[in-house]
Chain A
Amino acid sequence: MKPVLEIANLSVGFPDGTAAVRGVSLRVMPGETHCVVGESGCGKSVTALSVMNLLPRGASRSASVMRFQDHDLTRMADRHIARLRGDKMAMIFQEPMTSLNPAYTIGSQMAEVLERHRHVSRAKGLDRAAELLEKVGITAPGMRLAQYPHQLSGGLRQRVMIAMALMCDPELLIADEPTTALDVTVQAQILRLLKSLQQQLGLALLLITHDLGVVARMAQRVSVMYAGQVVESATAEALFAAPAHPYTQGLLRCVPIPGKTPHDEPLGSIPGVVPRIGGRFTGCAFRDRCAHAAPACEGDIPTRHLSHDHETICTRPPA
């Protein structure tokens, strides 16, 4: 099977000299949820934005492969990528309030997507919008179409964002922290919705999150990012059963699990802070915070294959 999205050696730099993404490779298969997990500043959102060609002005991007279906995104003109965006590849963001236009009704914003990409009439666009609002679990879609974003709750707005992303039957949906701004009870509902839509429609879902709980419940594949690199990549099952990179291991120990994490002991934590990485950085970016750091960590870091679909970059041989 051909991947829906394939990225190899993606690097993104910013004018201030920060290397935000350093050689990221990942593939998203049809019907698969691929989670990119990491802390703030690790480059996960920048990776997503470079796929959509939405990087801020001044950012420099290079990749040996960046392919969406049969489109070579490294060679496509901006206006051609813009035609794919919102059509065959769609994206939803963390804060639906800032992604929706406050001055237009929900219906008008949703219909516009079809008008622009499919050149259909406003009436047809509104029909499709109503159909999708129903699909994402919104009752009385007719009433919602006439409302403005501020009249909806956060959970409803995120449902509208999802419906809007589905207007043109995308093959790839990129969701950047789609539930981070929501209450836990609503988060569960939205994740259930995303999962069921994905299964119904056979969507490839690239889910960006900082939350390992979300990863565990959603992902088939996981890429763990740290300081602009994918430090470990595996199936969700393998990653949680046998995390290999010291960063992944540390991250998992930081999250308390009710009823399991002992109360009288301190939580596991990772000392120190994420380093600022410039263009000329060499060696392992995690070495200053790593309990296993050795002189070899300042040199080139080998990629280690733990199985055919579980790999990590670390100088330590796998246990």
Chain B
Amino acid sequence: MIDVRNVFRHFESRSGLFAESRVVRAVDGLSFSLESGGVLGIVGESGCGKSTLGRLILGLLPPSAGEILIEGKNLLALDRRERARLIQPVFQDPFSSLNPRQRVREIVGLPLAAQGAMPTAKQRDAVMDMLARVGLPDTMADRFPAQLSGGQRQRVAIARALVLRPRIVVCDEPTSALDVSVQAQILNLLADLRKDLGLTYIFISHNLAVVEHVATEVAVMYLGRFVEHGPAQPLFAAPRHPYTKALLASVLTPEPGIPIPDVGLGDNYPDPSNVPAGCRFHPRCPAAMDRCRSDTPPAASREGRVTECFLAA
């Protein structure tokens, strides 16, 4: 379904007029594929490149090198309309991603209108059908985004993403701006829609408990690379990379009587414009050895899981 082949995305950043430009390695050589119907959860701290990867898969950014194939076709070779019929996004903040001056029916109908060549009555039916599927009553169709709650706005964003019946949806932190009770509603909705419409999800989130619940496979991203990637349940049950272990340990579950873990990674997130030599995680790794400072760990593959760590090899 999705085939990512050795993809890089670098940005040039300049911190001052005369400063030397630095290269930010947001995505730094990723290769993976995702089967139809799967949910790939991508986790990592802010700045790890997970949103850049989402934008690459959406075709919103071209890769600096490498290629992304969707159903065997190069993403960059598709025109915008074709791409829109295949892949759609759902973003974090349903307020800034919806046009405040359009009514719900216009927002959800826009992708259909942009494709053209669909009679107005049919378009209308498709919009109303989609609103019903995401659990919004007919009466919402004539409202403006400001008249809706956060959860309802996110339902509108999902309806807009699905109205063209895409095959893939890239969800970038889809519930991070929502309250927990609403988050659960939206996660359940996304799960139902996946079953009903046969969707494939890329699910980007900083919330590991949520990813554990929705994903069929998980990629743990650190400084632009997947340091661990494999089927979700075994990965959560027995993480192999020290970074995955630290991330998992820092999930605070609502269970009293358990101490707050000492994750021991420090406060400083590393700088993607200054990636360390050797293993990129070694400055923060509690298990770092001498060779980690000089040699890049190879991708070790075992039981369908790929881990970039000497300890996992």
Contacts and interface: CB of A to CB of B under 8 A. Distances in A.
Interface of A: 39-40, 153, 155-156, 159, 183-189, 191-192, 195, 210-218, 236-237, 240-241, 250-261, 263, 266-271, 273-274
Contacts of A155: 267-268
B246 A270 contact: no
7 contacts: A39-B180, A185-B265, A189-B267, A212-B254, A269-B182, A270-B181, A273-B152
A33 B236 CA distance: 31
Given A153-B267, A215-B254, A273-B149, A258 B180 contact: no
A216 B180 contact: no
A254 B184 contact: yes
Given A188-B260, A240-B256, 10 more contacts: A156-B267, A215-B254, A217-B260, A236-B256, A250-B181, A251-B181, A256-B210, A259-B237, A263-B233, A269-B185
A255 B209 contact: yes
Closest 5 CB pairs of A and B: A213-B252, A155-B267, A269-B184, A212-B254, A39-B179
Contacts of A188: 249-250, 252, 260-263
Nearest to A250: B181
Given A40-B179, A254-B183, A214 B267 contact: no
Given A259-B237, A273-B151, A153 B269 contact: yes
Given A183-B206, A257-B255, A267-B187, A212 B260 contact: no
B25 to A, nearest CB: 19
A269 B267 contact: no
B209 A258 contact: yes
Contacts, number: 138
B138 to A, nearest CB: 17
Given A188-B250, A213-B251, A183 B185 contact: no
Interface string B226-248: 00000001001100000000111
B254 A213 contact: yes
Contacts of B262: 188, 192
Contact of A251 (B180, B185, B188, B237): B180
B307 to A, nearest CB: 19
Contacts of B137: none
A257 B236 CA distance: 12
A62 to B, nearest CB: 28
Contact of B254 (A183, A255, A259, A273): A255
B304 interface: no
B232 to A, nearest CB: 9
B268 A216 contact: no
Contacts of B259: 217
Contacts of B46: 183
B260 A184 contact: no
B257 interface: yes
A267 B260 contact: no
Contacts of B266: 189
B255 A240 contact: yes
Contacts of A159: 267
Given A185-B250, A187-B252, A256-B209, A192 B260 contact: yes
A258 B30 CA distance: 27
Contact of B213 (A195, A211, A212, A263): A263
Nearest to B186: A269
A144 to B, nearest CB: 12
A253 B187 CA distance: 13
Contacts of A195: 260
A247 B184 CA distance: 14
B149 A269 contact: no
Contacts of B180: 39, 210, 212, 251, 254-255
Interface centre among B152, B179, B181, B249 (most CB of A within 10 A): B181
A268 B184 contact: yes
Contact of B236 (A211, A212, A259): A259
B121 interface: no
B132 interface: no
Contacts of A187: 250, 252
Nearest to B181: A270
Contacts of A185: 45, 246-247, 250, 263, 265
B252 A261 contact: no
B191 interface: yes
B213 A267 contact: yes
A293 B261 CA distance: 40
Contact of A153 (B258, B263, B268): B268
Contacts of A40: 179
